[in-house]
Structure 1
Amino acid sequence: MEKRPQLVPTIALSCLLLGACGDNDSTPLTQHLSPATPATLNICSDIASQFNFENTVITSSEMVSAGKVEYSATESYSAPEHCVVKGYMNERMGLGSSGEADTKYAIGFEMRLPTDWNGRFYYQANGGLDGSVSKAVGRLIFAGGTDSAALNRGFAVISSDAGHPSPAPQFGFDPQARIDYGYNAVAELTPMAKSLIKIAYGKQPDRSYFAGCSNGGRHTMVAASRYADMYDGFIVGNPGLHLPNAAVSQLYGVQQYSKLVTYNPDGSDILATLQTAITQEEFGVVSQQILKQCDTLDGLADGMINNTYACQKAFDLDRDVPTCSGERDGTCLSAEQKQALSNIMAGPHNSQTGESLYANFPYDAGISAKDWSYWEYYMALNRDTGSVGYVFSTPPTPFDNNEQAALAFIQSTSVETYAQRIHNTTSLYTESGYDFMTPPELTKLSTLRARGAKMMVFHGTSDAVFSTNDTVNWYKELDSNNSGKAADFAKLYLIPGMGHCGKGPTTDKFNMVDALVNWVEKGVTPSEILASVRAENTELPADWSKTRTRPLCPFPKMAKYNGSGDIEDAANFSCVASE
């Protein structure tokens, strides 16, 4: 039987460098869950013969020596000696693109179990449309660097494909695959994983954590709202809180950009043509003017806008960005470009009722980064079309797998129609795209709060696909529903200049895992989190130090320069109330 949470009163007295500094106002008496205790792995290669869980097949289990685990072609992570377990659950035949039950589905998974275990379980929520099992190292964007992944810190880690194979998004034809992707894979995998951990170590995990970014952030929010009785701590990155709406907003963006270009009649070079609507150089002009109006609002001209919401009042696209008087030359925007960008930043609206269909976006310096254009153009055309058409729309509205068909799909109807499709149901698809993707009761989180679990959320203010404002609006409502005390169990950190789950002119290297564990298990309330630049980030401005650090401040506070000392050192900044 899983160890029941034990509430222990404590007074938070310590201040830990990596994000565990108590608030300066006062240090209240808090409650925390009992700390995890370590154990040693006692079985690996024989797990399949000793583990029996309903509808679960273990396909392999083997020991791996300490060293680097190659996560992808460009990333590797340090790992101790551990056991790698692979398998799948709930294998079945389901609906494929033919409309017949001719496609094999299962919830595939990988678990990595360190020989020296810290007593904790970590669910690595992957992103995008899932469909493949990423290596279970406990990765969370660039957080803390390659040595700070959860596996290397002693966690037992699971990763999954969320219940469907590649290629995605064709799984959207199958109703159960949709639900597994939305939320059910977590419900199925969690008790199985904890039972397997008990076989491996002789006990179930004392504490369980869940983390992810992008759709992985949405997965984490879903777990916090649906499965808070199964997990003790959550790290949420750039979450797609209303992901179907955000995908509709992406299609709306392509509709707006398309007004600025003329596509080739033969359907060739669609992406290349779309990317000329507002070029990288022209987005750079916008960024320069945003910085001109907003950079010093936080007390220092350093290329970072910490006072995000004061900036929205200070910057005006039409007034501050030069309007081209003739041909575009990379130093100005045409009136038509300004109108399209303004519409996109305002978010899509129902043209008849004025109802907002997705949140607006804040203007920030990272609009000039490659990641912004990547999501505005490439991903909007090549991923969001499939997401809306196959997965979120009811019934599925598929199209051919090419950019010409994708563009035709985007231009085939109004944004209002797309917004309606994500709320539709039928006798076969009994849950709408909105319902199976969006976390229920998210602005209350009563179970999470009542049992002493905690949540830490971060979001880059230059995210082009999931609006920072959507997350801020969520947090404000959460705070209102909890009598102004949301900070007792949930913290939100806005990261200036950061794009979607990293990248851009920003400090996107940080460690929230230690801070969360200390909050959950020791009652040490986190305040600022130390963040640094990644020296390998090629989009860092030339005048930034490769060792720049900044404090990430809990919303609604912001980092402000103290007025003296090295501007590249976080020690010379304080978290203060923002305007």
Structure 2
Amino acid sequence: MIPVFKRATAVSMGITAAFLIAVGATSAAAAPGGKHGEPPLLTEADCTPLTGLTISASDIGLPTSGADIETAVWDAAGNYCAVTGWIRAVSAPQDMQFRVNLPAAWNGRTLQFGGGGFDGSLVTATGNYTAQPAGSPTALSQGWVTLGSDGGHQGGPGFDGTFQLDEELFLNYGQWSVKKAHDAAYAVIDAAYGVVPQWSYFIGGSQGGHEALDAAARYPKDYDGIIANYPAYNVTMMHVGAVNFRDALLLDGGAGHLNAAETASITNAVYATCDTLDGAPDGIVSNVGACNEVFDVQSLACPAGVDPATVDTCLSEMEIAAALKITTDYDLGIEIEGNSVFAKSALFEGALYQGFAGFGSGPLSQGLQFQVFNATMQYGVAGNPPDWNGYTVDPLDYAERVQEVGEIMDVTDVSLNRFRAYGGKVILTHGTIDDFITPHNTLQYYAALQDEFGPRLDSFLKFYMVPGWGHGQGRFVAQYDGLDAIVNWVEQDVAPSGLVARDGNPGADRTRPMCEYPSWPLYQGYGSLDQASSYQCVTE
């Protein structure tokens, strides 16, 4: 018998209904007072009295019990007021924490920072935004109001999915925390400056990229521009669909498992085959299409007479089968928000799968992909049954609940049309060697956008695939000035053009052009391999 998902209380059953009402008029409860006036200078004398400020539930456009400011502390070194508060739950066992930083000289803009993973800890929003160039001034130091939250709950390290047992906390994480933090912050801003922002932006990566797309798609009147880097927009499919990784590594009783050395043998062969297909021997595979045509994992098969169990430099039949399974689109058999396909891995395109994103030490000690699968399946889908075994569970046994979870967490088929209609702009990026959220996942999303908007898409969304960039790491750690680019597009109607990314790896001193998909950077045959000016964006 399939365990029934545990609901918190009768009160929480009403949360979803209240949510539907709120989303129906998603920004009817937008920022109090509208956009008006010039902000005054803020001083320490203005900051301290914000402690104890109470925000009415009516000022927050989703179900809450209002909010309270816990601390308001003047940071003399940074010349800003750091405000921390709690958005009170309706029935959940936890309140939601948020942070707003109010500069002395405000430029009239807000920048909301996204979280990461399962969230669960406060984003203070005082440092660099995702993929910001190292050494460049923070948004806060430039006069922006910055804000963040804990994503709607407090959790343990890693992928602690226990919060998913409570409906309100689950909805907070899946889609509500973005709006709740925005509205609470606007109330604080209005109280501090007497005016509210002229412009509102959101930047994040991974889960923060998902939250950026939530901001645009679900709350289009609240935001003017967003940047979504390697977004986890379809969290449910990403997590549940990772059963494909589990089953690949468990082939033939675990004979398919790829240890770190075997995985490195694959990626070393990929780079040996594909690195120079873009004209540059630089350790980056830029011509991914050509790489897919020429790389053959069968070339790594152990020769006759060599026992695969004794070496890591060649692969067994089962290990090759596992690698092929991982690098093939997988039909889950359950449609989640209009999609049933878990996108293939980029293992044969340069994704490294080492360290935090590796496959673990053995078939029953798998890595990150299994962790997220197990967490969401155990708590969000199955409701934490006492006899849980993530290595044997079949998602098809929970098909209906998986679809319900998709409605909570995913933004896959929530249209950006209203955001476009209100003048919103989107910068979307992904790295070609992301070994946690495969780049093919975002390619699926972009293809769906092309189907929906056709030639209109380019007028409000720019998509960049960055060769060598992984999940915040990789052979080329992209850092680019996304904030200026999105501001110029939103406020001056100057679309991004000629963006350049710098490699943020320690000791690296190289740049590459950020090419709009489907183009990629081809070395022109002259000039420094380390300079963006030596490359041309091409499509063939």
Q: CA deviation at 1:370?
A: 3.0
Quick one: which amino acid aligns to residue 360 of structure 1? K
Residue 416 of structure 2: aligned partner? 445
Q: Following TM superposition, by how much is the alpha carbon of 1:147 offset from its aligned partner in structure 2, in angstroms?
A: 4.0
Work out whether residues 204 and 227 of structure 2, in 8 Å CA contact, stay in contact via their aligned partners in 1. yes
Aligned counterpart for 1:359 among listed residues 334, 343, 359: 343
CA distance in 2, matches of 1:134, 1:179: 18
Query: Per the alignment, do residues 413 and 123 of structure 1 end up closer, same or farther by CA in structure 2, a change over 3 Å counting?
Result: same
SS of equivalent residue, structure 1 residue 484: helix
Over the matched positions of the two proteins, sequence identity in percent amounts to: 27
Tell me: CA distance 1:531–1:88, structure 2 relative to 1, closer, same or farther (3 Å).
same
CA distance in 2, matches of 1:60, 1:132: 17
AA at the equivalent of 1:342: L
Secondary structure of 1:346's counterpart equals coil
Please say if residues 122 and 150 of structure 2, whose CA atoms lie closer than 8 Å, have aligned partners that are also in contact: yes
Residue 366 of structure 1 contacts residue 505 of structure 1 at CA under 8 Å; is this kept in 2? no
Q: Quote how far apart the aligned CAs of 1:56 are.
A: 1.0
Moved more, 334-343 or 191-200: 191-200
Quote the residue 1:192 is aligned against: 184
Whether 2:300 is the aligned partner of 1:321: answer yes
Q: Is the 8 A contact 2:477 2:505 kept in 1?
A: no
Q: 1:105 pairs with 76, 94, 113, which one?
A: 94
The 1-side partners of 2:115 and 2:488 are apart by 24
Q: Aligned-pair distance for 1:252?
A: 2.9
Contact kept, 8 Å, 2:513 with 2:521, in 1: the verdict is yes
Q: Is the counterpart of residue 480 in structure 1 residue 451 in structure 2?
A: yes
Q: Is the 8 A contact 1:298 1:305 kept in 2?
A: yes
Q: Of 89, 92, 95, which residue of structure 2 is paired with 1:91?
A: 89
Distance 1:301 1:417, change over 3 A: farther
Q: 1:114 to 1:324 in 2, by over 3 A?
A: farther
In the TM superposition, what is the alpha-carbon distance from 1:351 to its structure 2 partner? Answer: 7.6
Hey, what's the Cα distance between the residues in 1 that align with 2:209 and 2:193? 29
User: Partner of 1:117: helix, strand, or coil?
Assistant: coil
Which residue of 556, 559, 563 corresponds with 2:518? 556
Conserved 8 A contact 1:254-1:410: no
Correspondence list, 1:139-150, <5 A: 139-145=128-134, 147-150=136-139
Matched, 1:157 2:164: no
Q: Cα 1:498–1:189, aligned 2, differ >3 Å: closer, same or farther?
A: same
Residue 570 in structure 1 maps to residue 512 in structure 2: no
Q: Deviations over 1:69-112 (max 9, x none)?
A: xxxxxxxxxxx321111111123443xxxxxxxxx221211111
**Distance of 2:359 and 2:99 partners within structure 1:** 30
Structure-2 residue corresponding to 1:295: 275
Question: Counterparts in 2 of 1:255-404, with a 5 A limit?
Answer: 255-259=247-251, 277-318=257-298, 320-325=299-304, 326-328=306-308, 329-350=311-332, 356-362=340-346, 363-367=348-352, 369-373=354-358, 377-391=366-380, 393=381, 395-398=382-385
Q: Secondary structure at the match of 1:559?
A: strand
Matched, 1:48 2:51: yes
The alpha-carbon deviation at position 478 of structure 1 amounts to 1.1
**Cα offset, 1:310, TM superposition:** 3.1
User: Equivalent of 1:434, from 381, 390, 406?
Assistant: 406
**AA paired with 1:531?**
A
Structure 1's unaligned 5+ residue stretches are 6-35, 67-79, 95-103, 263-273, 400-404, 424-431, 538-545
| CA deviation after TM superposition for structure 1 residue 238, in Å | 1.0
**CA distance, structure 2, for counterparts of residue 367 and residue 551 of structure 1:** 22
Letter in 1 for 2:71: S
User: 1:133, 1:161 within 8 Å by CA — same for their partners in 2?
Assistant: yes
Give the direction of change, closer, same or farther, for the CA distance of 1:222–1:351 in structure 2 (3 Å limit). closer
In the aligned structure 2, how far is the partner of 1:508 from the partner of 1:112? 27
Shift, 1:233, TM fit: 0.6
The equivalent of 2:463 in structure 1 is 492
Change in 2 beyond 3 A, CA 1:548/1:37 = farther
SS of 1:235's equivalent?
A: strand
Deviation at 1:187, TM superposition (A): 2.3
Confirm or deny that 1:64 pairs with 2:46: no
Cα separation, 2, equivalents of 1:38 and 1:575? 43
Q: Is the Cα–Cα contact under 8 Å of residues 372 and 463 in structure 1 kept in the other structure? A: no
Following the alignment from structure 1 to structure 2, what is the Cα–Cα distance between the partners of residues 352 and 536?
43
C-alpha separation between the residues in 1 aligned to 2:90 and 2:56?
16
Match of 1:575, SS state, is strand
Cα deviation for residue 356 of structure 1 reads: 4.8
Structure 2 counterpart of 1:180, from 129, 148, 172? 172
Which among 442, 451, 458 is matched to residue 471 of structure 1? 442
CA contact (8 A) 2:334 2:396 kept: no
How does 1:171-250 map onto structure 2 within 5 Å? 171-250=163-242
Q: Is the 8 A contact 1:347 1:356 kept in 2?
A: no
1:146 is displaced (CA, Å) by: 5.3
Task: Determine which structure has the larger helix proportion and give its number.
Answer: 2
TM score, norm. by length of structure 1: 0.77
Where do 5+ consecutive residues of structure 2 fail to align? 1-31, 58-65
Corresponding letter in the other structure for 2:408:
F
- Could you say which structure has the greater relative contact order, defined with CA pairs below 8 angstroms and 6 or more residues apart? 1
What is the CA-CA distance between 1:483 and the residue it aligns to?
Answer: 2.6
* Aligned position for 1:503: 473
CA distance, structure 2, for counterparts of residue 458 and residue 311 of structure 1: 21
Stretches (4+) displaced over 6 A: none
Distance in structure 2 (CA, Å) of the matches to 1:510 and 1:398: 45
Q: Is the 8 A contact 2:210 2:233 kept in 1?
A: yes
Distance in 1 separating the partners of 2:162 and 2:300: 43
Indicate conservation of the 8 Å contact 1:527/1:553, yes or no.
no
**Structure 1 residue aligned with 2:432, among 450, 461, 468?**
461
1:215-258 CA-to-partner distances (Å, cap 9, x unmatched) read 11111111111011100011101111211111123233123213
Shift in Å, 1:288: 2.3
CA distance in 2, matches of 1:145, 1:207: 25
Contact 2:258/2:359 (CA < 8 Å) preserved in 1? Answer: no
